[in-house]
Structure 1
Amino acid sequence: MAEQPIDPTLGPVLARTGDERAVLDSFLDFHRSVVLRKLRGLSDAEAGRRLVPSMTTLAGLIKHLSMVERNWFPTLLAPEPGDVYLTSEEDAVASFALGEEDTVDALVEAYERACARSRAVAARFDLDHVVPHPQLGEVSLRWILIHLIEETARHAGHADILRELVDGETGAV
């Protein structure tokens, strides 16, 4: 019988006495799963509906977070030919823009793929591994993980509010 994967919402509880890496990874995966759960059960129209003056939508949040994952892990830690680290405010704003191809299913798949690649890249380095950053000078993997926890949690909060505005659903799970 195949072993069932651990629900990522339980990760921080299970890692409560783990080492630093286990704690950081579990909190990042927790917030990643919360963002994904906010899209479950929504139509493409509901996920793309603008409910605030900015371009922030549930679908746009997932698209943006996919860019964030690619930018901070593969592009910064293990760049491939042609990878360009995005630094401008315009890049960040543009990452929320939706096209016809940006269905809920496609965006979820892209985000899950970006997160899996991020996990694989990060696993190759220890927390003290340092890389150059075009704006900050140098950053460690530890700093990147904490920054991504902050970024993803911030957007999970946005997703909480947007989902409540769409259909009244609340809660992390």
Structure 2
Amino acid sequence: MVERNVDPTAGLVQVRTGSERAVLESFLDFHRGTVLRKLRGLSETDAARRLVPSATTVAGLVKHLTLVERNWFSALLDPGSVVVLTTEESALASFALADEDTVERLAAAYEAECDRSRTVAARFDLDHVVPQPQLGEVSLRWILVHMIEETARHAGHADILRELTDGSTGAF
């Protein structure tokens, strides 16, 4: 059995050998941790600052990824627990910040949703298939790979925004 570190602040991909699942989950946890490291340490103003023409902010990215986690894991693998986003418009709206969206609240909500995603996904094997409204059917393997891609892409966005804010770069 491979021991896997799910500490979102660990800073390294923790599984380099082991099962396919352990490697996939480790990469996803690495990118989840990167997103949190980009958010933490920012002031409320800097986390919400728009530095690009779109409405993308570091805080907005974390809020969006919290909803993405919920939609791909809980909504699909634990039907009835939440509503799945079905339009591009509603996905874009998930970046919008409210007054109560502080750095700590957003980080805590994201961590809690990631924990919930891990718990829900752990009940199924990688070949488990579920219906998905836009794609027909997807496997848990597909969901994990998609979430690695989605989270890594937004971690890159957060890295650029953080560099523009205070000069810090990289995954750590």
TM-score, scaled relative to structure 1: 0.93
1:88 aligned partner = 87
Taking a change above 3 Å as real, the CA distance of residues 5 and 72 of structure 1, as seen in their structure-2 partners, is closer
2:11 aligned partner = 9
Deviation of 1:80 after TM superposition, in Å, equals 2.7
> Contact 2:162–2:168 (CA<8 Å) still a contact in 1?
yes
1:67 aligned partner = 67
Matched letter for residue 71 of structure 1: N
Structure 2 distance, partners of 1:150, 1:127, is 17
Cα displacement string for residues 76-107 of structure 1 (whole angstroms, at most 9, x for unaligned residues) = 111235x2211201111100000100000110
2:53 aligned partner = 53
Structure 2 distance, partners of 1:170, 1:17, is 27
Matched letter for residue 70 of structure 2: R
Aligned length: 167
SS in 1 for 2:11: helix
1:26 aligned partner = 26
Indicate yes or no: 2:149 matched with 1:147: no
| Runs of 4+ off more than 4 Å | 4-7
Structure 1 distance, partners of 2:112, 2:15, is 24
2:79 aligned partner = 79
> Contact 2:6–2:29 (CA<8 Å) still a contact in 1?
no
Over the matched positions of the two proteins, sequence identity in percent amounts to 71
Cα displacement string for residues 47-99 of structure 1 (whole angstroms, at most 9, x for unaligned residues) = 00000010100000000000000000000111235x22112011111000001
Taking a change above 3 Å as real, the CA distance of residues 117 and 57 of structure 1, as seen in their structure-2 partners, is same
Cα displacement string for residues 102-144 of structure 1 (whole angstroms, at most 9, x for unaligned residues) = 0001100110011000000000000000000111110000000
Structure 1 distance, partners of 2:33, 2:48, is 19
Matched letter for residue 19 of structure 2: D
Taking a change above 3 Å as real, the CA distance of residues 163 and 79 of structure 1, as seen in their structure-2 partners, is same
SS in 2 for 1:9: coil
Structure 2 distance, partners of 1:114, 1:23, is 20
> Over the residues paired in the alignment, what is the CA RMSD in angstroms?
1.4
TM-score, scaled relative to structure 2: 0.93
Deviation of 1:168 after TM superposition, in Å, equals 0.5
Deviation of 1:5 after TM superposition, in Å, equals 7.2
